[in-house]
Chains A and B, each alone.
Chain A
């Protein structure tokens, strides 16, 4: 089976690239970008299994970015990262089409679990 491809979108440079590198160590095809605009451009260039977007970013916010990507790639699974305790924000995101949400601070183990779950669920859907 192909490696699962993951795009991480967050304005924290130190966080997003480190996380991506750690995913790579664990066998994921992962990369990071620093803004919504970059993410949209990258999604144009290639397809990702999962895109993980921070809701709170300067410029375009996470939900807006998700909507723009979903317009062209409706099958891409998008996961949102919200602030601590902002459950409502996450739930709104799910209503808008996100597969799941994570609360900050994101721990690698949780992220991997959710990515697997997201892909797994979609695999099952594909089987149907």
Chain B
């Protein structure tokens, strides 16, 4: 902790703050607090935010993998089913065209029989037609009247000649049902050929295969290579309309892509090009679903991050305020201690100066005194002088003035002696009277009555006379200050317990308000705005504590104040 504080002292310049301009030092503590908060926030929140980001990224990745795997599997399965569906029907037609001769198939009854078999065995067959090498439908069974129709100029007729087999796009037939066509060609040994053409109901594709592979969140449909929907789609358009999604690039295998749709929402697409057909299988997981699942995770993460940040900030800000407060308190204490030392030094200097002056004045005072005595002697022991009485009266006046000067120098010397702690035997009542001696004149001028009530048989105490003089002088001085014009100060001295002395100093002055009473012993607390240092009672408190005693104050505004000083009969070694 100490190093931390040192660090901040160094980096914020607070070390030299105490005693400077208060506004500037206030600014310094604010800056210290700011640095402390910023730095702590930086080191604690940065890793948290980075961790959350990484976590979210990982989660997103895992979520995608979880979503793409089933779709990829589903796409492969559906693709196999679709390929099997067309292959089955193509093979059935191939078998028929190879097994049966042109003439067999030309026979209407025979062809009807074959179509029924196909419907029963495979399903989805709508009609069946036989087309000769000239492109004319020579025989037809089915719901429409297509016999004799010429297909020469249609693309599929040429393509089937080229490849031997043809699967058409889905189209709407005469009654509006979606169909597609499978055509196979049989080439005879004389290079003559004929074609068997069947129409398949493409709804079978949708209902038997695609709808099986759909879950509530997915969409599965077929498009052709121009992007026209070959089956109905849940979310991507109607049959035979342009699909809203772009056509994925060709691949021989099933693929999974992550894409973004026109609205900017992500989706997962599984697709496969169906072999020997114009169809492309598309399986799409709805963006909404994908987003919902992801948003819930992200929201949880953000909520956790938010709560953490708020908690961390509260702790950091509280901690910084608390710590800077403590540093400031410690600094203030140090400043106060420095001030007190300064004050004590000042008092010591004044003491030495006073002692020097007193010494210098004492000698001439003694000379005046002895010479005045000599003059008295001259009259007393012999020589007669005119106006002897008046002469003696003047000498008496000189001697009494010298006595007064001596009393002053003695007090000054006593004050100087007080600087060095010195334990001696003290008569409590005598001590109080000594202190009152300093204030006698003021009491007289201000019409203040001072009563001293000492209990009978008070023992002498062992303590520091000079320091106790200072203590009582301070307290009685304060009592004088509290009394405005005339008033009364009662000083009671009594035993407290069997080893302590209590001195109660009560004035009937203006009293101290409660809020001031709590701070009265704090250094620099003063009510005497212009001329008080605010140190008197704090020094008093310090001295009494040092001498092993205690001090209490009771006060009522308008009634008066009582200071109670408790002193041990003997100052313990540790107390000094």
CB distance A84 to B413 under 8 Å? yes
- Interface presence of B358 (CB below 8 A): yes
- Interface segment, A11-19, A90-98, A116-124? A11-19
- Interface presence of A85 (CB below 8 A): yes
Q: A84-B410, A84-B413, A85-B417 are in contact. Are A18 and B359 (CB under 8 A)?
A: no
- Interface presence of B204 (CB below 8 A): no
> Using an 8 Å CB-CB cutoff, how does the interface string of B355-383 with A read, 1 for contact, 0 for none?
00011001101110111011001001100
- Interface presence of B406 (CB below 8 A): yes
> Using an 8 Å CB-CB cutoff, how does the interface string of B335-369 with A read, 1 for contact, 0 for none?
00000000000000000000000110011011101
Interface centre among B359, B366, B373 (most CB of A within 10 A): B366
> Which residue in B363, B373, B380, B381 is a CB contact (below 8 Å) of A12?
B363
CB distance B369 to A105 under 8 Å? yes
> Which residue in A12, A14, A25, A83 is a CB contact (below 8 Å) of B359?
A83
Nearest neighbor of B406 in chain A, beta-carbon distance: A105
Nearest neighbor of B378 in chain A, beta-carbon distance: A25
CB distance B374 to A18 under 8 Å? yes
- Interface presence of A108 (CB below 8 A): yes
CB distance B363 to A108 under 8 Å? no
CB distance B366 to A22 under 8 Å? no
> Which residue in B367, B374, B409, B413 is a CB contact (below 8 Å) of A21?
B374
Q: A104-B366, A105-B365, A105-B369 are in contact. Are A84 and B359 (CB under 8 A)?
A: yes
Q: Which of A69-91 contact B (CB under 8 A)?
A: 83-85
- Interface presence of A4 (CB below 8 A): no
Min Cβ gap B558→A in Å is 45
Q: A21-B374, A84-B410 are in contact. Are A104 and B367 (CB under 8 A)?
A: no
CB distance A22 to B410 under 8 Å? no
CB distance A108 to B417 under 8 Å? no
Contacting residues, chain A, for B359 (C-beta < 8 A): 83-84
**A50→B470 CA distance, assembly (Å):** 42
Min Cβ gap A125→B in Å is 31
> Which residue in B367, B377, B409, B417 is a CB contact (below 8 Å) of A25?
B377
> Which residue in A15, A25, A104, A108 is a CB contact (below 8 Å) of B381?
A25
CB distance B413 to A22 under 8 Å? no
CB distance B370 to A18 under 8 Å? yes
> Which residue in A12, A85, A108 is a CB contact (below 8 Å) of B413?
A85
CB distance B373 to A22 under 8 Å? yes
Contacting residues, chain B, for A108 (C-beta < 8 A): 370, 373
Contacting residues, chain B, for A19 (C-beta < 8 A): 370
Nearest neighbor of B414 in chain A, beta-carbon distance: A85
> Using an 8 Å CB-CB cutoff, how does the interface string of B377-410 with A read, 1 for contact, 0 for none?
1001100000000000000000000000010011
- Interface presence of A106 (CB below 8 A): yes
**A22→B381 CA distance, assembly (Å):** 10
Q: A84-B358, A84-B410, A84-B413 are in contact. Are A105 and B366 (CB under 8 A)?
A: yes
Q: A85-B417, A105-B406 are in contact. Are A18 and B362 (CB under 8 A)?
A: no
> Using an 8 Å CB-CB cutoff, how does the interface string of A20-48 with B read, 1 for contact, 0 for none?
01100100000000000000000000000
**A22→B413 CA distance, assembly (Å):** 29
Nearest neighbor of A84 in chain B, beta-carbon distance: B413
Contacting residues, chain A, for B358 (C-beta < 8 A): 84
Contacting residues, chain A, for B377 (C-beta < 8 A): 21-22, 25
CB distance B366 to A15 under 8 Å? yes
**A105→B369 CA distance, assembly (Å):** 9
Min Cβ gap B129→A in Å is 146
**A43→B101 CA distance, assembly (Å):** 179
**A15→B363 CA distance, assembly (Å):** 9
**A108→B366 CA distance, assembly (Å):** 10
Q: A84-B359, A104-B362, A105-B406 are in contact. Are A18 and B367 (CB under 8 A)?
A: yes
Contacting residues, chain B, for A107 (C-beta < 8 A): 369
Contacting residues, chain B, for A22 (C-beta < 8 A): 370, 373-374, 377
Contacting residues, chain A, for B369 (C-beta < 8 A): 105, 107
CB distance A12 to B417 under 8 Å? no
**A107→B244 CA distance, assembly (Å):** 128
Min Cβ gap A14→B in Å is 5
CB distance A14 to B373 under 8 Å? no
Interface centre among B358, B362, B373, B413 (most CB of A within 10 A): B373
> Which residue in A14, A104, A106 is a CB contact (below 8 Å) of B371?
A14
CB distance A15 to B370 under 8 Å? yes
Min Cβ gap A111→B in Å is 10
**A107→B409 CA distance, assembly (Å):** 16
Nearest neighbor of A23 in chain B, beta-carbon distance: B377
**A85→B359 CA distance, assembly (Å):** 10
**A70→B413 CA distance, assembly (Å):** 33
9 A-B pairs with CB atoms under 8 Å apart are A12-B366, A15-B363, A15-B366, A19-B370, A21-B377, A22-B370, A22-B373, A25-B381, A85-B413
- Beyond the given pairs A15-B366, A21-B377, 6 more chain A to chain B contacts, judged by CB atoms under 8 angstroms and listed by A's residue number, are A14-B367, A25-B381, A85-B417, A105-B362, A105-B366, A106-B366
Write the residues of chain B forming the contact surface with A, with a CB cutoff of 8 angstroms.
358-359, 362-363, 365-367, 369-371, 373-374, 377, 380-381, 406, 409-410, 413, 417
Write the residues of chain A forming the contact surface with B, with a CB cutoff of 8 angstroms.
12, 14-15, 18-19, 21-22, 25, 83-85, 104-108
